[in-house]
Chains A and B, each alone.
Chain A
Amino acid sequence: MNGDVVLEASAIVKRFKKRPILDSAEMVLCGGEVVGLVGENGAGKTSLLRICAGLLGPDSGSVYRRGRVGYCPQRPALFELLTASEHVVLFGRALGLDRASALRQGSAILAEFGFREDGTLAKALSGGSRQKLNLSLALLGNPDILLLDEPYQGFDHGTYVDFWDHVDRWRERGIGVAVVTHMLTELWRVDRVVELRVQHPLSEAV
């Protein structure tokens, strides 16, 4: 961990209609640090991650970010009739990468996860392959902050183990990583755990 704060969410309050989801939630993430975000279903893990990424506005509170955010949603957000390479070109262009650079970088990331691009449309990919593409798109452009919402859903056991090895490498590269997870047996691989409780203020365990 290099110590610099790259993300800080303070006093986050969020309600959906009248149902409180987050009440004074706090989260701090430093560069080169891995934070595990845990909690029961409905505790607001996804909401907090979306708020940190800027995709959801809280009712009150503030989020500080330094650097570019790579966000991997829980359910792959893909165009069903585009191939993996086309997704890479599209998302790469959003980051200012030309086609060749995006394909070069995207292919390398996909290969790290054992994804072989053969022109298959997203709709025909297996659940695990869709998730690999989903995760790879978040990694394009070397983000400083990675917000990953259960990014390993659909992975087979080997890929799941590899995923945590990748997390170690991202940490070594100085990336701040927040991972929503239900896999409590893997929490030894994170630096800190942030626990969200249903309708209760957030507590943090180090």
Chain B
Amino acid sequence: MPAPWRTVAEMQARDLVRRRAALLLLLGLPMSWYVAEAAAGVDYAVGTGVLAMAWSAAAAPLFAFLGARAVDQRLIQAGFRQRDIVIGRLMALLAICSIMAAALGIVMTIGSRPDRIRDVFLALALTTLVSTSVGWLTSSVVPRELEGTLLLIGVVGMQISIPVSGRAELFIPYYGPLRLTDYERTAVGPLGPTAHSAVWAVLIAVVALTLWRSRVRVAKPASHCAGRPELTSFPGSNSAR
């Protein structure tokens, strides 16, 4: 029998794959953005494509977590552990977004023939990682997809406006991928950007997890005595027995 998170991942993947129009839009947005910039001869076309991928990779978890909001608590009440749902869903999202990012990477490699191809794919992988956390966190603080989409546009769009230099760059979640695809500066090794993205992804995920857990929490019996029903006690309880 597969681990519980694998069943969650399978069903999440089935749900996502059936959203064909949404997936096409999520892939089409970074593709068209990159193609438009590349056609205009902009030097930073690859960076633009990576940033557009950030929006797409964040939108997928936004829709997935918001769409499951009414069901998650019921799944936990039915017997899933919280971590089964989180791991399963994130695995499915990362897999599908990675495929989209890889497709974009191939198009950008063919279109722009960048010198540092490895950096392009690493930047896309890091973007997918950070964005999954960003999308999850966004889903935890907005009531609906519309508000979440607008928030994502703002968050991702801000990454371009903030100058990626000096100490300020450390506070930009997408610094890693942006730095890797910044051809105006000297090449940087993969370690720094990777570590930076990993730290940001984990930090954002921890906040998202905290908010998500408060929403899906199910009170479990606090004790069990043979022959007596299990007890779920609550703050202020005045009837312990």
* A positions within 8 Å CB-CB of B: 5-8, 10-11, 13, 53-55, 57-66, 69, 71, 73, 75, 77-82, 86, 89-91, 93-96, 98-99, 121, 137, 140-141
Q: Is the CB of B15 within 8 A of A94?
A: no
Residues of B within 8 A of A5 (CB): 229
Q: Is the CB of B77 within 8 A of A58?
A: no
A131 to B175 Cα, complex, angstroms: 48
Q: Is the CB of B11 within 8 A of A82?
A: yes
Please tell me if B167 contacts chain A, counting CB pairs below 8 Å: no
* B positions within 8 Å CB-CB of A: 1-2, 4, 7-8, 11, 14-15, 18-19, 67-68, 70-71, 73-75, 77-80, 217-221, 228-240
Q: Is the CB of A54 within 8 A of B77?
A: yes
Residues of B within 8 A of A91 (CB): 75, 78
Q: Is the CB of A60 within 8 A of B237?
A: yes
Contact of A69 among B68, B70, B77 (CB under 8 A): B77
Closest B-chain residue to A68, C-beta based?
B79
Closest A-chain residue to B222, C-beta based?
A62
Closest B-chain residue to A86, C-beta based?
B11
**Quick one: given A11-B238, A55-B218, are A82 and B15 in contact (CB under 8 Å)?**
yes
A82 to B220 Cα, complex, angstroms: 28
Contact of A62 among B4, B217, B239 (CB under 8 A): B239
A69 to chain B, nearest CB (A): 7
Residues of A within 8 A of B221 (CB): 65
Q: Is the CB of A54 within 8 A of B11?
A: no
**Quick one: given A82-B11, A93-B4, are A64 and B232 in contact (CB under 8 Å)?**
yes
**Quick one: given A90-B8, A91-B78, A94-B78, are A55 and B73 in contact (CB under 8 Å)?**
yes
A82 to B8 Cα, complex, angstroms: 12
Residues of B within 8 A of A53 (CB): 77, 218
Q: Is the CB of A80 within 8 A of B67?
A: yes
Contact of A98 among B1, B77, B218, B219 (CB under 8 A): B1
A82 to B16 Cα, complex, angstroms: 10
A98 to chain B, nearest CB (A): 4
A57 to B236 Cα, complex, angstroms: 11
**Quick one: given A79-B68, A86-B14, A93-B4, are A64 and B78 in contact (CB under 8 Å)?**
no
Q: Is the CB of A62 within 8 A of B233?
A: yes
Closest B-chain residue to A52, C-beta based?
B232
Contact of B232 among A54, A98, A141 (CB under 8 A): A54
**Quick one: given A11-B239, A55-B73, A61-B237, are A81 and B229 in contact (CB under 8 Å)?**
no
Beyond the given pairs A54-B232, A55-B77, 12 more chain A to chain B contacts, judged by CB atoms under 8 angstroms and listed by A's residue number, are: A5-B229, A6-B229, A60-B238, A61-B234, A62-B232, A77-B70, A81-B14, A82-B11, A91-B75, A94-B78, A121-B18, A137-B78
Residues of B within 8 A of A65 (CB): 221, 229-230, 232
**Quick one: given A55-B73, A58-B234, A95-B79, are A7 and B229 in contact (CB under 8 Å)?**
yes
List 16 contacting pairs A-B, 8 Å CB cutoff, sorted by A.
Answer: A8-B229, A11-B237, A13-B236, A54-B220, A57-B219, A60-B234, A60-B236, A60-B237, A61-B234, A62-B233, A63-B234, A65-B232, A77-B74, A82-B15, A93-B7, A141-B78
Q: Is the CB of B14 within 8 A of A94?
A: no
